[in-house]
Amino acid sequence: MATAEGQQHPIGVYLWIWGLLFVLSLFSYLVDYFHLEGMLRWSLILLFMMLKAGFIVAIFMHMKWERLALIYAILLPPVLVMVFVALMVLESDYTHWARETYFVFGA
Amino acid sequence: MITALIIILVAVGSVAFHLMSPWWWTPIASNWGFIDTTIIITFWVTGTVFVAILFFTGYCIWKFRHREGVKADVEYEPENKSLETWLTIGTTIGVVIMLTPGLFAWKQFITVPEGADEFEVVAQQWQWSYRLPGKDGVLGKSDVRKITPENPFGINADDPKGKDDVLIESDDLHLPIDRPVKVLLRAIDVLHDFYVPQFRAKMDMVPGTITYFWFTPTKVGNYEVLCAELCGVGHHAMRGMVVVDNDSDYRAWLAEQTTFGQSLAKAQQQKSIDLASTTDRATSEKKVSAQ
Amino acid sequence: MADATHDDVGYVPPAEIEEQDLYHAKSWITKYVFCQDAKVIAIQYSITAIAIGLVGLVLSWLMRLQLGFPEAFSFIEPDDYYQFITVHGMIMVIYLLTALFLGGFGNYLIPLMVGARDMVFPFVNMISYWVYLLAVVVLCASFFVPGGPTGAGWTLYPPQAILSGTPGSDGGIILMLVSLALFIVGFTMGGLNYVVTVFQARTRGLSLMRLPLTIWGILTATVLALLAFPALFVGAVMMLLDRILGTSFFMPSIVELGEHLSYGGGSPILFQHLFWFFGHPEVYIVALPAFGIVSDLISVHARRNIFGYRMMVWAIVIIGALSFVVWAHHMYVSGMNPYFGFFFATTTLIIAVPTALKVYNWTLTLWRGDIHLTTPMLFAIGFIVTFVNGGITGLFLGNVAIDVPLSDTMFVVAHFHMVMGVAPALVIFGAIYHWYPKITGRLLDETLGKFHFWVTFLGAYLIYFPMHYLGFVGVPRRYFELGDTQIFDQSVGDLNAFISIVTFIVGFAQLVFFFNLYRSYSKGKEAGPNPWRACSLEWQTAETPPGHGNFGKELPLVYRWPYDFNVPGAKEDFIPQNMSQSEAFPKRKAAAKTSRSRAAKK
Amino acid sequence: MNLLRELTDKPWIATEGIPGAGQEQKMLSAVSSGRAAIKWLFGVGSVLFFLLIVSYGERMTYEDWRPLPESKLLWFNTIALISSSVAMQWAVIGGRRDEIDDVKIGMLSGGITAVVFLAGQLLAWRQLVQMGYFETTNPAIAFFILITGLHALHIVGGLIAWGRTAQKVWWRGCEAGQIRGSVELCAFYWHFLLVLWLVLFGLLFAGNNNLSIILAICGLR
Ligand code: HEA
Ligand code: HEA
Ligand code: CUA
Ligand SMILES: [Cu+2]
């Protein structure tokens, strides 16, 4: 709702965020570099990814300066859809893995 | 008056019933005491809240009941932020107290320890059969489409690991005590569920995939297997038996069992006789369990 | 009342639907049979739902006969038993409770409580009822096809639902799925109507936050139903294709009794996901209207404003939203990806927090109220007790590790009967005692009502509280009989017999209720327009029962929320929603204002 | 969008004076309720087809999956559906300008192209049968039949509403002003079905399964 200052956010903000994005990417890279494994690896990578996506949507796509309701209306459904899709992908991969491991196909 | 009393009595009676009930869980015979502990924790938390709410309700009903001719001193208070906040926080704490041990127990439940012995349970309408990995410790691959009267488990005959698999085509299985086992569960027709109350563990068996759980039997004895997922008219009659043996008994039992390789050879010898009797058996069994 | 203010500043008529004439019945048939008046449709829905509900009730007695006295009734075979539980569960959850709460109470109360003349699309509304009736007829028809109705459990899990080891796999399952699809189509028509009516046809001054909680409950439940039923629809249609065309959506390679079937590749678990993506919201679909109605009952009969109204609304909405991300708590031991357990256990237990707040607020509404222990109030209190008890056992099941031993045992059966069978049923009874005077103009008999309450409440508690302990013992659900077994000793059978006996006593009490309904219709005490001295709009209609177009010549104007009981300074202990400030506080307008703004600051 | 603000209102504060006095008077119209109803219907439909897409994606993983044979016909059908939507929009614009002839042209061509689309879909089914692909055990085919079938049913529903409007235009000879609302509702529904089809077509049936590509891009598979 803060439209008054919203129209003229300083260029500095963009630069800051831009820099931050680089730093975050660096972190993701470091996760790889230090061979972090298992849950830790994936949670870190996901965290950095989410942060980056969040910054991009918030700053570069001007979401930060939108109304709260709009933010929810635009962001919530895709997030939910992504959660559902991710869950179902995990599920089918699990079944697939079980079949590959214990059953023999074809032949 | 009476209403308030009865509400309080419901609370007191429920607690009394809980304390004196002859119906309680079977003595545990596996390593899943953690699950029982979690249940007890949950009982404490929820029981306290249940009793508290009922007492409060009963008290309100008694104290603020309408009395003819007495002007009630009713409060007009739409909301009370701080009270609601505190109640939220309190409830959240209660949830955390219950959830944390629950999640730890689940983590344990799905993480099979290194070196656990594997065996397979195969379910079909309405009977159990079992497969042990044999000397090599690995189960041969299987496929429902390979099931024939000679090969009721559908083991892939081309898989060398399958030849020494021990097949137990009866409802009874023996297990050695104190050794962690990973139970691989497989169904060839519909959903079933391998459930032994004393082990606390259970898991559905799903055609088209393999499911698992693990446990360590901790007490020698005979334990009845129940099917816990509706699987048709014979569901309630689908019973089996797990016998937990000490080591020597177990080895004696194991020595009597036949392997896949042996049964295959035997089957080749008297193919025709076998075929007839298996189909016979399947149909007669259906009749029996349908009753 | 509203008329008194007309000479105030310029009068603003309430919003009405401009292009649409009110539906006018022309003959007896169009007035009582093919009627488009929401009130009549509501009655039609309710009668149909209760009638089919009685079938469900009778089925439950048959089941209890078998479970309580396993050897005694030879006419119940395993086939029959499994058909009974399936149809019982399905009827109770969908054809009774969903239809009664949304089709029955929704149709009756929404237009009245939001100050509208009717639903926005009366014609669609009528069709909705007839499609529902058709669904019920198709369901009943399955009793008469060869093989009987399906016996796959109300969850209808494939593969067993469509294979021959399950009773009713020829015709029964097909009719079941078709009936469900019809129900969904019919409900969607009705549901769109309810939602649009609440959002668009509210009368002037009735902001969302001035809606009675009943409407909030019904509205949210309707939205849930609209978004959840498609999952069941998809599942049902896919299973129909598997059954009829031999596709393999849910069917892997299967050997049934030594015979290879021509299915392959599918995953049965996918159906379970679809079913519970519908099924869990479904249980809140029957719970949320109950939450809403009980809030109103408590507030009216305790003569006190509902405590924490805003929290109550948010809680309803949050519960509704969260109910879409907990579905897999029904699948902890289904063989799905085990890591889901962490996610779904957490979301499931989070739901307990808003629900708990609702419970607290109900009890806090009693605090410092002026409690009239009328029959509706008794039912509301009974609801609190049974709901808390059943909700708490839900926490056991939701906590994934605890669910492992308890899943698929009688513990689950006890949980959901307490929380869904008993608690909302008590609310339905309370609601009928509460609104019967508005519908018929006469009060139900209080003495009979209290008798009905005590037997039903205490009886149902005696049925289901001990049943949890059968679950601890390990008695699985859906067992035709326990048979010869080592682990269940005689005491288990005794408890089962006890439960069955209480069931029949409770069943008998329902006859008293129906007798009450019947007798009070002609002999009951005249109620007058507002026997409970309640504030919400349905009690302020010109006629009782409300006439054509609900509100006579003019729609009411709304000045306040529906919970203004015992407002300091008011001349009576309640202020109807359509009473203006000057009328409510005739003497000292200014003084009243300050006292109210004091309340407002809190 | 002021929903959120409304939800934080303090409901226990009563209105002084007349509710809504001084505000512009809003009359509720059948069209605005119709629009609201259709929007909710979109929600229902979206969930329905979203679940189908998810099921498709999950079934796709398994070993017996064979992708759908490509069909040029579907591209043609897509174009038909797009033109149908455009035509309906034409009718809407005509209605707004009070040009009954434009309404008629738009409605007629919109209806015809919709029927063409349906016929095309039917032809696509027949093609699959003739190519010998119609084995019900092939899950991709089964999904194709199911999804296009449900979508077609939605179109048929739209055509019924279209018929009611058309009857007003041609038989009852209504003015442009009288049927403007119904035409707009029809077109609104048409656009929704078009978007739905584009999503389904783009994700599942156009070329080689773009769904798996998208999943791969998201790192999900
Ligand atoms: C109206 C219907 C209804 C409602 C409201 C609920 C409410 C809940 N249900 Fe229930 N449930 C069903 C109907 C319902 N359920 C049905 C029909 C089934 C079985 C289906 C089948 O398999 O056939 C089922 C099955 C079921 C299962 C699956 C069991 C299994 O099959 O293995 C689970 C597991 O998580 C569960 C959990 C819960 C939880 C956590 C709640 C929560 O929402 C409860 C929240 C309420 C409270 C918590 C009480 C109030 C709170 C307090 C008094 C404060 C105290 C709280 C704390 C300290 C935290 N339910
Ligand atoms: C709302 C839902 C509801 C209701 C009210 C009931 C009511 C009852 N149910 Fe049922 N039941 C289910 C939903 C319900 N049930 C479901 C979903 C299943 C699972 C099916 C499956 O496994 O697939 C099930 C399964 C089930 C079983 C388990 C079978 C098994 O697993 O082996 C049993 C066993 O005792 C049982 C018994 C009863 C009894 C004795 C009653 C009652 O008689 C108890 C007494 C209660 C009352 C007397 C209240 C009656 C009020 C109404 C019915 C409302 C009618 C309204 C008006 C008259 C206005 N039910
Ligand atoms: Cu096997 Cu139930
Ligand atoms: Cu649930």
Indicate if B121 and B236 belong to the same structural domain.
yes
Range of the domain at B96: 2-65+81-110
The residue of chain B with its CA nearest to that of C371 is B65
Burial class (CB within 10 angstroms; exposed 0-12, middle 13-18, buried 19+) of B276: exposed
Indicate if B233 and B105 belong to the same structural domain.
no
Between chain C and chain D, the number of residue pairs with CB atoms below 8 A apart is: 186
Angle at C464 between CA C460 and CA C467, to 5 degrees: 155
In this structure, what token pair is assigned to residue C173?
A: 């399952």
Query: β-strands B192-195, C255-256: how paired?
Result: unpaired
Q: What is the pLDDT of residue C75?
A: 85
Q: What is the mean pLDDT of residues D113-122?
A: 94
Q: Which residues pair with B166 in a beta bridge?
A: B132, B259
Range of the domain at C510: 373-527
D179, pLDDT greater than 90? no
What CATH number does residue B200 fall under? 2.60.40.420
What does the pLDDT look like over B208-226, one tens digit per residue?
A: 899 999 999 999 999 999 9
With b meaning 16 or more CB within 10 Å and e meaning fewer, what string describes B229-248?
bbbbbbbbbbbbbbbbbeee
D12, pLDDT greater than 70? yes
Evaluated on CA atoms C123, C124, C128, C134, the torsion sign reads: positive
Residue of the CA atom closest to atom 1 of ligand 3: B192
- The DSSP secondary structure of D2-52, one letter per residue, reads THHHHTTS-TTSPPSSSTTTTSPP--B-HHHHHHHHHHHHHHHHHHHHHHH
Note whether residue D11 is domain-resident: no
State the amino acid at position C363 in one-letter form. T
CA B3 vs CA B8, B103, C156, C384, C578: distances in Å = 9, 40, 42, 13, 35
Q: What's the CA gap between B102 and C401, in Å, rounded?
A: 5
**How many domains, chain D?**
1
Indicate if B247 and B148 belong to the same structural domain.
yes
The HSE-up count of residue B14 (CA atoms within 13 Å, CB side) is 27
State the distance between the two ends of chain B, measured CA to CA, in whole angstroms. Answer: 54
Range of the domain at D192: 20-217
Note whether residue D66 is domain-resident: yes
Q: Where are the beta strands (DSSP E) in C422-546?
A: none
- C25 pLDDT band, cuts 50/70/90, is low
Show Cβ contacts of residue D94 under 8 Å, excluding neighbours closer than 6 positions: D100, D101, D102, D103, D104, D105, D106, D176
Note whether residue C81 is domain-resident: no
Q: What is the mean pLDDT of residues B125-152?
A: 87
How many of the other CB atoms lie within 10 Å of CB of C188? 23
**Which of B78, B102, B286 lies at the smallest CB-CB distance from C401?**
B102
C-alpha distance from C128 to closest chain D C-alpha (Å):
15
Answer whether B188 sits within 8 Å of C254, measured CB to CB. Answer: yes
In this structure, what token pair is assigned to residue C201?
A: 């046809």
Indicate if B123 and B242 belong to the same structural domain.
yes
Evaluated on CA atoms C249, C250, C253, C256, the torsion sign reads: negative
Show Cβ contacts of residue C191 under 8 Å, excluding neighbours closer than 6 positions: C102, C222, C225, C226
How many residues in chain B? 291
Note whether residue B254 is domain-resident: yes
- C180 pLDDT band, cuts 50/70/90, is very high
Q: What is the mean pLDDT of residues C99-109?
A: 95
What ipTM did this prediction achieve? 0.89
Note whether residue B70 is domain-resident: no
C-alpha distance from C273 to closest chain A C-alpha (Å):
9
Average model confidence (pLDDT) across chain A: 73
Phi and psi of D216, rounded to 5°? Answer: -65, -40
Indicate if C523 and C583 belong to the same structural domain.
no
C380 closest CA partner among C416, C432, C333: C432
Q: What is the pLDDT of residue D99?
A: 83
**Which of B53, B78, B80 lies at the smallest CB-CB distance from C363?**
B53
What does the pLDDT look like over B160-181, one tens digit per residue?
A: 888 888 888 888 899 999 999 9
**Helix C423-440 vs helix C375-398: angle between axes, to the nearest 10 degrees?**
150
Helix, strand, coil percent values for chain D (each to nearest 5): 75, 0, 25
Query: β-strands B181-187, B127-132: how paired?
Result: unpaired
Which residue bears the tokens 């309904």?
Answer: C517
How many of the other CB atoms lie within 10 Å of CB of C221? 29
Indicate if B230 and B184 belong to the same structural domain.
yes
A10, pLDDT greater than 80? no
State the amino acid at position C326 in one-letter form. V
Q: What's the CA gap between B52 and C305, in Å, rounded?
A: 23
Indicate if C511 and C538 belong to the same structural domain.
no
C427 closest CA partner among C223, C576, C221: C221
Q: Which of B112, B139, B145 to mutate to test the interface with A (most CBs of A within 10 A)?
A: B145
Q: What is the pLDDT of residue D1?
A: 41
Indicate if B51 and B101 belong to the same structural domain.
yes
**How many domains, chain B?**
2
Helix, strand, or coil (residue B242): strand
C15 closest CA partner among C208, C203, C193, C206: C203
Q: What is the pLDDT of residue B276?
A: 59
Indicate if C407 and C497 belong to the same structural domain.
yes
Q: What's the CA gap between C584 and C564, in Å, rounded?
A: 10
Answer whether B208 sits within 8 Å of A95, measured CB to CB. Answer: yes
Q: What is the pLDDT of residue A83?
A: 83
Indicate if C565 and C507 belong to the same structural domain.
no
Can you give the pTM of this predicted structure? 0.91
Q: What is the pLDDT of residue A61?
A: 66
CA D64 vs CA B219, C253, C264, D67: distances in Å = 45, 11, 8, 10
Q: Which of C482, C500, C527 is the last residue of a domain?
A: C527
What does the pLDDT look like over C402-438, one tens digit per residue?
A: 999 999 999 999 999 999 999 999 999 999 999 999 9
Q: Where are the beta strands (DSSP E) in C518-587?
A: none
Peptide bond into C545 cis (omega under 30): yes
Q: Which residues pair with B244 in a beta bridge?
A: B175, B221
Helix, strand, or coil (residue C333): coil
Residue of the CA atom closest to atom 52 of ligand 2: C425
Q: What's the CA gap between D149 and D126, in Å, rounded?
A: 13
Which residue bears the tokens 């058909």?
Answer: C83
**Helix B33-63 vs helix C375-398: angle between axes, to the nearest 10 degrees?**
160
Q: What is the mean pLDDT of residues A4-31?
A: 72
Element (H, E) at B243: strand B239-245
Note whether residue C362 is domain-resident: no
In this predicted structure, which of B16-20, C37-41, C550-554, D155-159 has the lowest mean pLDDT?
C550-554
Note whether residue B139 is domain-resident: yes
What does the pLDDT look like over C57-85, one tens digit per residue?
A: 999 999 999 999 988 877 888 889 999 99
Q: What's the CA gap between B234 and B189, in Å, rounded?
A: 13
Answer whether A95 sits within 8 Å of C273, measured CB to CB. Answer: no
Note whether residue C307 is domain-resident: no
Q: What's the CA gap between A1 and A26, in Å, rounded?
A: 34
Q: Which of C527, C552, C571 is the last residue of a domain?
A: C527
The residue of chain B with its CA nearest to that of C83 is B233
What does the pLDDT look like over B279-290, one tens digit per residue?
A: 655 555 554 444
Evaluated on CA atoms C229, C53, C292, B92, the torsion sign reads: negative
What does the pLDDT look like over D44-102, one tens digit per residue?
A: 999 999 999 999 988 888 888 888 877 788 899 999 999 999 999 999 998 888 888 88
- The DSSP secondary structure of A30-62, one letter per residue, reads HHHHTT--HHHHHHHHHHHHHHHHHHIIIIIT-
Q: What is the mean pLDDT of residues C39-53?
A: 94
C465, pLDDT greater than 80? yes
C474: region left, alpha or beta (phi > 0 left; psi from -120 to 50 alpha): left
What does the pLDDT look like over A15-27, one tens digit per residue?
A: 887 888 888 778 7
C417: region left, alpha or beta (phi > 0 left; psi from -120 to 50 alpha): alpha
What does the pLDDT look like over B35-78, one tens digit per residue?
A: 999 999 999 999 999 999 999 999 999 999 988 877 777 778 88
Residue of the CA atom closest to atom 38 of ligand 2: C60
Burial class (CB within 10 angstroms; exposed 0-12, middle 13-18, buried 19+) of D25: exposed
The B residues from 214 to 273 touching C (CB cutoff 8 Å) are 222, 224, 226-237, 239
Q: Which residues line ligand 3 (CB under 6 A)?
A: B 123, 126, 192, 227, 229-231, 235, 238
- B123 pLDDT band, cuts 50/70/90, is very high
Indicate if C396 and C474 belong to the same structural domain.
yes
C132 closest CA partner among C179, C78, C66: C179
Indicate if C440 and C580 belong to the same structural domain.
no
Contacts of D61 in chain A (CB under 8 A): 89, 92-93, 95-96
Residue B145, chain D, CB below 8 Å: the answer is: no
What CATH number does residue D143 fall under? 1.20.120.80
C427 closest CA partner among C111, C114, C101: C101
C21, pLDDT greater than 60? no
